[in-house]
Chain A
């Protein structure tokens, strides 16, 4: 424990010795992690928005004219049994006619032309809040559409589909960009540690001559890389909080849609923690690679 504390102190002292290089390094790490954080944040919000849409998704299955009550009951029961479904309602042809009359009393005279209700019976399905996986909802609806009683279906899934597609694209693009930025960060930390090894080569040589173990020599560098990554992650968090606080609000004033999608007050701890942990892990491994190569 004493050794680890001493190594940590030595690692931090080494950062202090080469302020300019380490400051630049921190800036690059923070920027890279910030970009990752922004994509993570956008993906998170699209996800939330898509969940909201899913929550209000209502599918109306219009039934064929000759559907018998027993078959309709069986269909309703089957729909109710599905885990994605929140509520199932049934509207008979007569009820549909009554609803029409109530909603449009001025058109009641049209109804007199029909000997019986011209409206089909329908089954209305609303989905659960956690049924956010739109592909499942779509698959379910497609499945129900094939039922012999069902004539057609009306649903408001288009927006949800578009949002899901956008989220997928943002996530993929984020991963792609993230991969490149992580590579850049690894490269930067690798080289900063290499420079620090170079600056301290005399010290390392002396340590070796007086009988220092490999870990005694290497551990401060590992801490140095990890601390750079962690501090870079914390800086990225702070920058992200500032961006999230001001930019969506400004954009939201112009495009209400954006304002509706992004909750400016909220950024999940998960995203903030991920940036710090990612920074730390990248720092640790970059310094490990550097040590493996330059301290033998």
Chain B
């Protein structure tokens, strides 16, 4: 599903954000991407949705070399990927419903379909009772669930979450990861970047650890008791 071949990324000439990364993530996999701040987690995710370009190497998504996708066709790649951020990136002057509806609106979907899908997705993340609220007026955990709903509503093949629990307490973080598990159970490849080791230990998933732009660990973690 996602393949990296000798991918390197430099923001400055003197150091590597990512160095010679080789990676293969299968369809439907659930992966934790971990490492200290500045290890290259966010850069790796940005390369997947082509927010950044690699200096070296090739990245294939669904066997398509994304380096070759021209700018005006980038929207096709982005529609296959649901992206979630630590700071949620919601529009504060719009309601929960309106925020979740954005991916469908940009695709020109009909209002009836949008109403139906947004309602179903809000049910999935347990937020149907908040749909008329402005996102500025709901809690951090709820905002993150809105962001998740927005990411999944367009039926993406891949979900990417960059520190989605960074602003949440442990209890809410577990709740959020459980939602990701539910999404992943539908066959959606899920990649979560987090530096929260305790959270990773609670879920038996594949863990890829980055350190100074290089993969230092790639294994499936067993649940600790």
- Asked if A247 is at the interface (CB within 8 A of a chain B CB), the reply is no
**Complex formed: what's the CA distance from A172 to B154 in Å?**
58
Residues of A in contact, count (CB < 8 Å): 16
**Chain A facing B: main interface SS:** helix
Q: Which of A6, A206, A213, A214 contacts B102 (CB 8 A)?
A: A206
Known contacts A212-B75, A214-B72: does B89 contact A207 (CB below 8 Å)? no
Query: When the two chains form the complex, which single residue of B51, B108, B154 contacts A210, counting CB atoms closer than 8 Å?
Result: B154
Tell me whether B91 and A202 are in contact (CB under 8 A).
yes
Interface residues of B in 68-112 (CB under 8 A from A): 71-72, 74-79, 83, 89-91, 102-103, 105-108
State whether the Cβ of B195 lies closer than 8 Å to any Cβ in chain A: no
Give chain A residues whose Cβ lies under 8 Å from the Cβ of B90. 206
Measured in the bound complex, the distance between the Cα atoms of B176 and A192 in whole Å is: 41
| Nearest-CB residue, chain B, relative to A208 | B78
> Which residues of chain A from 209 to 254 have a CB within 8 Å of any chain B CB?
209-214, 216
User: Is B150 located at the chain interface by the 8 A CB criterion?
Assistant: yes
Q: Within the assembled complex, what's the spacing in Å between the Cα atoms of A137 and B73?
A: 63
Distance between B181 CB and nearest chain A CB, rounded to angstroms? 23
Minimum CB–CB distance for A16 against chain B, Å: 12
Query: Chain B residues near A130 (CB, 8 Å)?
Result: none
Write the nearest CB–CB distance from A154 to chain B, whole angstroms.
72
- Residue of B77, B78, B91, B106 with most partner-chain A CB within 10 A: B106
CA distance A210 to B76 in the complex (A): 10
Q: How far is the CB of A18 from chain B (nearest CB, A)?
A: 13
In the complex, how many angstroms separate the beta carbon of B197 from the nearest chain A beta carbon?
A: 28
How many interface contacts (CB-CB < 8 Å) are there between A and B? 47
Assess whether B75 is in contact with A213, with CB atoms less than 8 Å apart.
yes
A147 interface contact, C-beta 8 A: no
Cβ B89 vs Cβ A211 within 8 A: no
Minimum distance in angstroms from A52 CB to a CB of chain B: 58
A212, closest chain B residue (CB): B106
Within the complex, what minimum Cβ distance (angstroms) separates B66 from chain A?
A: 14
A210 close to B91 (CB less than 8 A): no
- Tell me the smallest distance from the CB of B24 to a CB of chain A, in Å: 25
Asked whether B49 is an interface residue with its Cβ less than 8 Å from the other chain, the reply is yes
Partner of B150, one of A6, A210, A213: A210
Task: Assess the A202–B89 pair: CB atoms within 8 A.
Answer: yes
Residue contact A210 to B103, C-beta cutoff 8 Å: yes
A87 interfacial contact with B, CB 8 Å: no
B71, B72, B107: the one within 8 Å of A211 (CB): B107
Q: Are B49 and A209 in contact (CB under 8 A)?
A: yes
Whether A98 sits at the interface, judged by CB under 8 Å, is no
Interface hits, B38-79 → A, CB 8 Å: 49, 51, 71-72, 74-79
Q: Is the CB of B102 within 8 A of A210?
A: yes
Q: Is A65 an interface residue (CB 8 A)?
A: no
Residues of chain A lying within 8 A (CB to CB) of residue B78: 208-211
Can you list 6 A-B pairs with a CB-CB distance of less than 8 A?
A207-B102, A210-B83, A211-B103, A211-B154, A213-B72, A216-B106
Task: Mark B residues whose CB is within 8 Å of A.
Answer: 49, 51, 71-72, 74-79, 83, 89-91, 102-103, 105-108, 150, 154
8 additional A-B pairs beyond A209-B49, A209-B78, beta carbons within 8 Å, are A206-B91, A209-B89, A210-B102, A210-B150, A211-B77, A211-B78, A211-B107, A211-B154
Nearest first, the 3 closest Cβ-Cβ pairs linking A and B are: A211-B79, A212-B106, A211-B78
